[in-house]
Amino acid sequence: MVITSKAASHRLLGVQYLRALAALMVAYYHLLQQSDAYLQAPSAHRWLTTDRLYNGVSIFFVISGFIMYVTGAESRPLEFAQRRLVRILPLYWLLTLTLFACALLAPHLFRTIAASPEYLVKSLLFIPYPNPTADGRLFPLLAPGWTLNCEMFFYAIFMFALFAPLRWRAALIIAALGLLVALGLASPHSKLHSYYGFYTNVMMSQFLLGIVIGLFYRAKRLSIPAPLSVLLMLSGLILLFCPLGDFLNGDAADTLGATLLVLGTVALDKAWPFWRIPALLGDSSYSIYLTHLFTLGALRLIWVHAPHLRHLQSASAIFYAVVSMACICVVSVAVYRAVEQPILRASHRQRPAPQSVRTAVARP
């Protein structure tokens, strides 16, 4: 159902829908990783398998670069840092502390969580560490938080660039991110196992490319015919979902695909109608991203301990997937409304929005 809304006309609706898509891609990817434990049918993965859904992270990173530049290019450094911390910390800290407490109280339910005070502090402060339960990859207690470690590093670069005159800010951020990526390409390391590789991996270029899109958008020079914009989006989806063998390596395909998808979506900015449910899921995408493992964990307990469901889980992978994704959406919307919205409203009442934010855009 298409709904018109005056408020919707002031938002980058296409970006909102992409945020929902990216979050649900990551949630479904983790659902696939758990499916072996709950689905005994040999053919289950015929319905479920798609191993490139992790590319939702690449979409998020390009969107983040775009939104940060569009909303924050004219911000004062401390104002920018405050907005980012208010947006990121409360829900992430709440869920990390909840996970830590549950792992201490019922360790038999969290065999892949190494609950120690050191790891808790590092997770809360976005300090990467080799997680022994994740094969030494630099994962925090709440595994999806590894991307937040990347985000916070990007925010730090962005914030320091805001001390420079406005005309130099984009160039400084792009130069810093470009240098990091160049260092990583010159001396490749496993991007999730070493500190050097973590902060110099190709994914940092996704923030950079999002900023480039933001530069053209703010300058009102992103005039792309609608048919070409649609072609860009389709090309991006193909690159994200279709393995290209030796033609293009995985990181390059992911980065280019996410960039083309976001570029085409932003170029169609004025053409997107307002769909209530996708827009709500876009608003709730941060909650989807952080809460979906909790929802899947609760469903695991229900599936394993409810004998009358065993026949269903063995017979229908589709049933399992639909129920899981529906629960993820419901829980995330509830968390968004109960936790995120009140915090964001309170923070907005305490400070006036800067001029760059009053040109309302999709909430980052």
pLDDT at 51: 72
- Average pLDDT per 10 consecutive residues for the chain, totaling 364 residues: 40 93 94 65 48 90 97 94 95 97 86 87 95 87 95 97 95 96 82 84 95 94 93 93 64 91 95 94 97 91 68 62 92 97 83 45 48
How does DSSP classify residue 10? G
Distance CA 170, CA 212 (A): 8
Distance CA 296, CA 294 (A): 5
pLDDT at 247: 56
Task: Quote the tokens at residue 135.
Answer: 């094969």
Alpha helices by DSSP H, listed for the chain, are 13-38, 44-48, 56-72, 77-105, 117-124, 145-161, 166-186, 195-199, 204-218, 226-241, 250-267, 276-283, 285-305, 307-315, 317-335, 341-350, 355-358
Residue 44 contacts residue 35 (beta carbons within 8 Å): yes
Distance CA 214, CA 32 (A): 34
